[in-house]
Copies of this chain bind each other. A is one copy, B any other.
Amino acid sequence: MKYPQAIEHLVRLFTKLPGVGRRTAERYAFDVLIRWKEAEVSEFQEVLAQVKNSITTCGQCGVFTDAAECPICLDRQRRQDLLCVVASAREVYSLENTKEYRGQYHVLQGLLSPLDGRGEEILGLAKLIRRIEENDVKEVVVALDSTLEGDATALFIKQKLEDYPVKVSRLAFGIPLGSALEYVDGGTLARAFVGRAIF
């Protein structure tokens, strides 16, 4: 027996979410149908519209915002001469929560990936360079994934910035806090050795 059409449709939409397979989507759809109140469903509908309408990315740095200017660009307490490069606007939240960084951000549109046809143009480096020049930026912190694509992109940015009077740094690699050495992979251990510091 097939599900009534609206249920089937809702199940199909839920499977579009990341990591959601058919069975999980069915569980979600029936939960909405059986357990959610009318008011909750309307609220869900409204918020879906809102999230697409009210949230934009800052034209300057690319951070998500629901206001005309973004909270980070607006904050005059933050250093203007420090720029952190991230691969997506979402990562800004994780970095902000560390409270270790008080500079500007520059959100790329993705990472270099020749296999997926993502080349230099998605990095928007012209804009990054313009910001470096205009704000007299002293240091660019590259905060990218430790993956093939992240490494390639980091290296590419470093090369592109060689002619500018700016330091280019990258987040440290090493042993994650709270982990036992015996479970840390060899590559990470090797990087931790290279990066060892007097304490």
Contact = CB atoms under 8 A, between A and B. Distances in A.
Interface of A: 1, 3-7, 9-10, 13, 16-19, 24, 27-34, 36, 38, 40-45, 47-52, 54-55, 64-66, 71-72, 88-90, 92-93, 96-97
A66 B27 contact: no
B96 A64 contact: no
Nearest to A94: B1
A34 B90 contact: yes
Nearest to A50: B6
Given A10-B47, A31-B17, A3 B52 contact: no
24 contacts: A1-B92, A3-B64, A3-B93, A4-B54, A4-B55, A4-B65, A4-B66, A5-B66, A6-B47, A7-B51, A7-B55, A7-B64, A10-B48, A10-B50, A13-B47, A16-B40, A18-B27, A29-B51, A33-B51, A34-B89, A41-B48, A42-B49, A45-B45, A48-B48
